[in-house]
Amino acid sequence: MKVNYQSDFLLLVRFKNLTGNIINIPDYCFSLIFKTAGSWNTYVVNVDRDKENERYKVINDTDLLVIFNSHNLGIGKLECEWRLNVPNDLMPDSEMNLVTVNTQEIELWNGESDDMNMEISMELITPYISNSEIIADAIDNHNNDIDAHANLVEQIFDSIMELTEQEINDNIII
């Protein structure tokens, strides 16, 4: 899809999980930062599902409409940096900050725009995000594995020491 870089346009954003299934728009705040290779300018969309603004509208549970109005982006392929602030009790600030970068098949250029009646859309794949309880369990299991490993090393060391002591006693020449 080619869009004249001076034109306003609408972009439908859908979110997918790692298996490719469409998921709901995250219920925590996040940012979409758009740019092109041909410009230093960015177009920032800070999303809070409960508060729409002039840069986005929540269409339904899975579809977010981004409104590119006077965006000032330059020529080039559209890139989207997705910044998530996922609630996570294990983090000191109670948020896990994640960033993914996606290059889209949408090109801003200085020529004629393609049919603007067509839906311009993009899909963002969410990075793997675990539930805090799952992470806590994994840490506990890891610590238990370390403890079990330490016990095994101690047992092996003790048995080596016994063998060495026995060998020393067997080889003592009187």
pLDDT tens column, 44-62: 999 998 888 999 999 999 9
Q: What confidence tier does 156 reach under pLDDT thresholds 50, 70, 90?
A: low
pTM score of the predicted model: 0.68
- For 140, the token pair is 């506990």
* pLDDT at residue number 103: 80
Looking at mean pLDDT, say which of 12-26, 110-124, 125-139 comes out highest: 12-26
What span, in angstroms and rounded, lies between the C-alpha atoms of 85 and 88? 9
Mean pLDDT to the nearest integer, 132-149? 56
Q: How far, rounded to the nearest angstrom, does the alpha carbon of residue 124 sit from its chain's CA centroid?
A: 10
Collapsing DSSP states into helix, strand and coil, what is residue 49?
A: coil
Q: Which residues are 48's β-sheet partners?
A: 51
Which structure tokens are listed for 39?
């410009």
pLDDT of residue 75: 93
Please state, for a pLDDT cut of 90, what percent of the chain lies above it. 26
What is the residue-averaged pLDDT of the chain? 79
> With 70 as the cut, is the pLDDT of residue 95 above it?
yes
Considering only residues 119 and 87, tell me which one the structure prediction assigns the higher pLDDT. Answer: 87
**CA distances, 63 to each of 28, 67, 100, 155 (Å):** 15, 13, 19, 58
pLDDT range class, residue 69, cuts 50, 70, 90: very high
Closest CA to 32 of 87, 84, 68: 84
Q: Please say if the pLDDT value at position 119 is more than 90.
A: no
How much of the chain, in percent, has pLDDT values that exceed 70?
69
Residues with Cβ < 8 Å from 6, sequence gap 6 or more? none
Question: Residues, the chain, total?
Answer: 174
Tokens linked to 58: 């929540």
Closest listed residue to residue 68, CA positions, set 135, 116, 20: 116
Widest CA span in the chain: 102
- Cα separation, 55 vs 83, whole angstroms: 16
Question: 21-30, 64-73, 149-158 — which one is most confidently predicted on average?
Answer: 64-73
Looking at residue 76, what is its pLDDT? 93
